[in-house]
Amino acid sequence: METDRRIALKFAYDGGSFFGFQRQPVGVTVEGSLVHALAKVGAIRSARECGYRSSSRTDRGVSALCNIISFRTSFPTGALCAAVNSEMEDIWAYSAIEVPDAFNPRGARQRWYRYHLPKSCQDPRLLREIASRFVGVHDFSGYARKDDRNPMRSIDSVTVEDAGMFYAVDFRAESFLWNMVRRIVWMMNEGSSGRMDLDCIGPKPKKKPVRIGLSPPEYLVLMDIDCGVEFPADQRALLGIRLAVDARLRKNAMGTAFASLLGERVV
């Protein structure tokens, strides 16, 4: 029988299916579903008792290809991903590893977010120029929801790439403030579309902007988190995930096909 030790679990989820990541009194959340599944398979008794820790708390509607939690358990590590996946929908655990008890996924080296900005009338040159203004150490008080956290943040990079129907805007930093990425993208979109004076954009703008809006959450994905450890994929869990991916691709492809037929018929 395996002894109690700390496990780090890496997983993905469709944010559109949940009321955000963090557990709440009402509404199904990612964290609540994970804790419930872990308890149901017998991996933990409660989040408090197992020393539960999480890495990133994404907003409602935001999806993730990678998020990380850790907890103490005696459940067999090699069977954990497949076990919890059998008890969850729209969340897919794909790697579980043993880590030192001091391991805290909250203290990550770097987080990578990608915003899929729908193409309209943006000037890609301006998008990239505006993006460069946010790189480095700045006070992001004006670009985040107010709370008690230190508003000083260091953004390692912001890149803009063509991605078909979207511009893929990638942000890399150790940590971000609440709503920070979505507010920066809103300003990038307004400025590159000619709807905002460029002197109003940036951590230290020459002019005070009239307002700073918030881009929709459903286009934002937490791509990866670097906690300084390797997470090999659980091959048993991947078999089930591939089936779920195939089903989603077929469903989305049918939706696209129907939209095309509808356009041909009535537009």
Q: What CATH code is carried by the domain that includes residue 183? A: 3.30.70.660
Considering 59, 101, 148, 246, which one is annotated as catalytic? 59
Environment class of 183 (CB within 10 Å of its CB; exposed 0-12, middle 13-18, buried 19+): buried
Question: Is 59 a residue of the active site?
Answer: yes
CA quadruple 143, 149, 153, 159: dihedral sign: negative
Q: CA of 68: how far to CAs of 52, 100, 104, in Å?
A: 11, 15, 10
Residues 88 and 17 in one domain: yes
Whole-number pLDDT of residue 14: 93
Residues 98 and 178 in one domain: no
Whole-prediction pTM value?
A: 0.92
Residues 29 and 13 in one domain: yes
Euclidean distance between CA atoms 44 and 38, whole angstroms: 6
Whole-number pLDDT of residue 2: 65
Domain range enclosing 206: 110-223
Residues 214 and 128 in one domain: yes
Residues of the chain with pLDDT under 70: 1-2
- Contact between 135 and 155 under an 8 Å Cβ cutoff? The reply is yes
Euclidean distance between CA atoms 83 and 88, whole angstroms: 9
Whole-number pLDDT of residue 224: 96
Whole-number pLDDT of residue 8: 96
In a domain? residue 264? no
Residues 195 and 239 in one domain: no
Residues 180 and 208 in one domain: yes
**CB under 8 Å to 256, separation ≥6 — which residues?**
none
Residues 172 and 237 in one domain: no
Query: 């997470």: which residue's tokens?
Result: 231
**CB under 8 Å to 209, separation ≥6 — which residues?**
142, 187, 196, 200, 201
Residues 44 and 145 in one domain: no
In a domain? residue 263? no
Residues 210 and 125 in one domain: yes
In a domain? residue 152? yes
Residues 138 and 162 in one domain: yes
Total domains present in the chain: 2
Residues 146 and 232 in one domain: no
Whole-number pLDDT of residue 266: 86
Residues 143 and 66 in one domain: no
Whole-number pLDDT of residue 26: 81
